[in-house]
């Protein structure tokens, strides 16, 4: 279930900000408290809040006391006291995102933001940032995604249903040779997907697999990848590719 909520306090209020300077306002305003403790006080003029405190350390409110709200962050303090209350409520909230389908568990909308999640039941599916959500559906009812890791792989967004790691491992495990010791490079997950030497920890050679498709071999013996930013070696620090392909890009990351 969705645990996050937005708190809304509306009415005729006195608003006091204390910090470097002290300021006091009064008016019929609406105060929004977001799940990250950001507090925004809005009146009818313009789009900018009358007062705000970003990601407060603490936010306390007492609807029985009129209502009142106190938000603090370091030496900064935002106080709101109501003289006439219009509303004091909690509303369920989630991150907004691009619609990508329907949740097979509850029928709610699936949206993509940092991940893919259901706006109703809160189911979440972590996906790579470079993944493309497809129109096709997995047999489980979830959308499929396309991710380039040496090849273009189409898998379910639920890694427990279909594993991108397993697909990349099946395609490339032991396909490449460690340039340091001659051992096989294994497909491993260490934060991200890497091609790491089978002789670890005696040999610590490892390369992050970039977002792209294998399109040849570098002068160093490792594969080359066609990526969105240009052609590159599996080894992001390798200069051998530049010797044979002046248009290739030297990169320091995947």
CA angle 28, 30, 34 (to 5 degrees): 160
Q: Which residue has tokens 């209350």?
A: 85
pLDDT for the residue numbered 21: 86
Are the beta carbons of 159 and 126 closer than 8 angstroms?
A: yes
Instruction: Output the tens digit of pLDDT for each of the chain's 254 residues.
Output: 344 789 999 999 999 999 878 999 999 999 999 999 999 999 999 899 999 999 999 998 776 666 789 999 999 999 999 999 888 888 888 888 999 999 999 999 999 999 999 998 889 999 999 999 999 999 999 999 999 999 999 999 999 999 999 999 999 999 999 999 999 999 999 888 999 999 999 999 999 999 999 999 999 999 999 999 999 999 999 987 655 555 555 444 43
Contact criterion met (CB below 8 Å) for 172 and 195: yes
Question: 77-108: b or e for each residue (b if 16 or more CB lie within 10 Å)?
Answer: bbbbbbeeeeebeeeeebeebeebbbbbeeeb
Reported pTM: 0.74
The per-residue pLDDT for 254 is 39
DSSP for 23-38 reads EEEEEEEEEEE-TT--
Element (H, E) at 99: strand 98-102
How much is the pLDDT for 251?
A: 46
pLDDT at 248: 58
Whole-number pLDDT of residue 244: 52
Say whether 83 sits in a helix, a strand or coil.
strand
> What length is written for the chain?
254
Domains, in order of start, for the chain = 5-92 (2.70.180.20), 98-162 (no CATH), 170-244 (no CATH)
CB atoms within 10 A of CB 194: 18
The whole-angstrom separation of Cα 95 and Cα 246 is 44
User: DSSP secondary structure string, 146-199?
Assistant: EEEEESEEEEES-TTTS-HHHHHHHHHTT-SB-TTT-PBEEEEEESEEEEEETT
Q: Which residues pair with 78 in a beta bridge?
A: 17, 71
The pLDDT value recorded for residue 122 is: 87
Element housing 9 (H / E): strand 5-18
Backbone phi and psi for residue 242, each to the nearest 5 degrees, phi listed first: -65, -30
Could you give the count of Cα atoms lying within 13 Å of 156 in the half-sphere of its Cβ? 15
């Amino acid at each position: 279930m969705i645990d996050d909520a937005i708190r809304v306090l509306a009415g005729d209020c006195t608003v006091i900000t204390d910090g470097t300077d002290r300021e006091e306002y009064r008016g019929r305003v609406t105060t929004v408290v977001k799940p990250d403790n950001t507090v925004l006080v809005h009146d009818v003029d313009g789009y900018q809040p009358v007062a705000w405190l970003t990601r407060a350390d603490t936010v306390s409110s007492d609807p029985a006391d009129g209502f009142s709200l106190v938000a603090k962050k370091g030496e900064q303090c935002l106080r709101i006291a109501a003289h006439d209350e219009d509303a004091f409520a909690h509303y369920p909230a989630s991150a907004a995102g691009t619609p990508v389908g329907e949740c097979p568990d509850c029928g709610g909308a699936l949206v993509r933001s940092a991940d893919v999640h259901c706006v109703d039941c809160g189911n979440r599916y972590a996906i790579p940032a470079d993944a493309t959500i497809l129109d096709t559906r997995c047999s489980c009812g979830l959308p499929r995604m396309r991710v380039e890791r040496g090849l273009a792989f189409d898998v379910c967004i639920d890694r427990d249903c279909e594993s991108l790691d397993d697909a990349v491992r099946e395609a490339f495990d032991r396909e490449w040779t460690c340039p340091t010791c001659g051992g096989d490079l294994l497909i491993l997950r260490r934060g991200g997907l890497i091609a790491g030497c089978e002789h670890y920890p005696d040999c610590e050679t490892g390369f992050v697999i970039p977002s792209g498709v294998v399109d040849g071999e570098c002068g160093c013996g490792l594969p080359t990848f066609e990526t969105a930013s240009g052609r590159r070696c599996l080894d992001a620090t390798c200069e051998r590719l530049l010797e044979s392909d002046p248009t290739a890009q030297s990169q320091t990351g995947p």
